[in-house]
Structure 1
């Protein structure tokens, strides 16, 4: 059962009754460091991202670690009928897609609300599926660290491996057989941002914090895969690739 939180939306429970059994049929999760996710209080959880099925597995993992899985979601989705209602009633957090000043103000508001309600949020720091051909974490964006720094919230790296056996990157079909494919989950120690505290508006601080985060995620994934990640994160711009959307084959 997920830990109690102030203002907990009840819609989580009927959704969990549907999603958890299906996800549990598809994946057998094994955990390393599950006690590193706080059982109460605010947190920003930053996992790697290499298939479109990742959010289901990450949500199941967070649920199994006794917290409610809330994600950052595009602000435009909150205006879609039904979808927006579901997002709002499960406490999902809208991604600021406005001017820099407005985005900064929204980030501060979001951070205060996370702390006030003792909630956690899951943020994919890469912003999309990795472009790295070997599925290693690529260059990160600053959203996760911006949110953590703005509210002095623990920023926790996480890695998982095995979801590609359920659905490959950009795949359109889920593999239902054999069932319960092994997916490894590893949670790391919070990123040390003490020297960057109070600098959420400084680009240099955001860049450095993001580097630390992506390096930590890559190191966690190295443990699961038993091999070394590339020394430098994949940069889509260096390979003529778009930053968002599906990767053209």
Structure 2
């Protein structure tokens, strides 16, 4: 029964999500070849709008993979939506609780089972006023190194023009280009098979975020800023990884 419910949930998502990605903008998917068709992969994404998971899920599914998201626990409590997410194998993130580490363990198990796990390393929509990536949590590096899996950067651009979270504005018209692009896996070889500690996780995380930032600069056709936005440091908003 569980398998039947999972299959039904995934089919329901396809019926709803695929048309929405066309209706909300002019969809462009690029770099799909960087998502492996089989085997474990950690997909690390920038986050500029609540519409991002809609496009990322369809993007990854187009490669023949069922995406497993690390998603806020609050979403699992929504009527109907929570049941669909649970049945489809999505992974709740319980921030600030004694169960916070469970999400990483579930994600590690999904990777061990050969799944495609999707993560937004920043943990929330970027607060950078120009929509560049922020300093991220180190969970992405912890997963990549513990599970020893490739990390593929994926960026969205244009979703924020349809729905601006901080401006509370939904504007599907006039239609805009919505681009989702995957890049080559981030090279974390220098961090692998070494004792894992805080400084190493921070450096590996910044390496992933710099890969995302560079890929986003290519999509935007703009030079990337020289550091990652840090909303906790008002006098020096960008951190420059060593």
Q: How many residues align?
A: 232
Taking structure 1 as reference, are residues 98 and 236 closer, same or farther at Cα in structure 2, changes over 3 Å only? closer
Cα distance between partner residues in 2 of 1:111 and 1:157:
18
Q: In the alignment, what sits opposite 1:145?
A: 141
SS of the counterpart of 1:236?
A: coil
Taking structure 1 as reference, are residues 194 and 135 closer, same or farther at Cα in structure 2, changes over 3 Å only? same
1:129 aligns with 2:121: no
Q: In the alignment, what sits opposite 2:211?
A: 216
1:161 aligns with 2:157: yes
Superposed, 1:186-225 pairs within 5 Å as 186-199=181-194, 201-225=196-220
Q: TM-score, normalised by structure 2?
A: 0.84
Superposed, 1:21-40 pairs within 5 Å as 21-40=19-38
2:110·2:117 contact (CA, 8 Å) conserved in 1? no
Q: In the alignment, what sits opposite 1:3?
A: none
**Shift of the alpha carbon at 1:80?**
6.1
2:126·2:133 contact (CA, 8 Å) conserved in 1? yes
**Shift of the alpha carbon at 1:77?**
4.7
1:112 aligns with 2:112: no
Q: In the alignment, what sits opposite 2:40?
A: 42
Structure 2: runs of 5+ lacking an equivalent: 236-242
Structure with more strand by fraction:
2
1:32·1:185 contact (CA, 8 Å) conserved in 2? yes
Describe the superposition over 1:160-214 as per-residue Cα deviations: whole angstroms up to 9, x where unpaired: 21112211242434323234x2112221111222222245741122101111011
Taking structure 1 as reference, are residues 99 and 54 closer, same or farther at Cα in structure 2, changes over 3 Å only? closer
Describe the superposition over 1:34-86 as per-residue Cα deviations: whole angstroms up to 9, x where unpaired: 10011111111111111222221222222233322321023465466644422
Q: In the alignment, what sits opposite 2:178?
A: 183
2:108·2:147 contact (CA, 8 Å) conserved in 1? yes
The CA RMSD over aligned residues, in Å, is 2.6
Taking structure 1 as reference, are residues 135 and 149 closer, same or farther at Cα in structure 2, changes over 3 Å only? same
Q: In the alignment, what sits opposite 1:230?
A: 225
1:96·1:107 contact (CA, 8 Å) conserved in 2? no
Cα distance between partner residues in 2 of 1:7 and 1:120:
20
SS of the counterpart of 1:204?
A: helix
Taking structure 1 as reference, are residues 63 and 211 closer, same or farther at Cα in structure 2, changes over 3 Å only? same
Q: In the alignment, what sits opposite 2:239?
A: none
Cα distance between partner residues in 2 of 1:105 and 1:36:
29
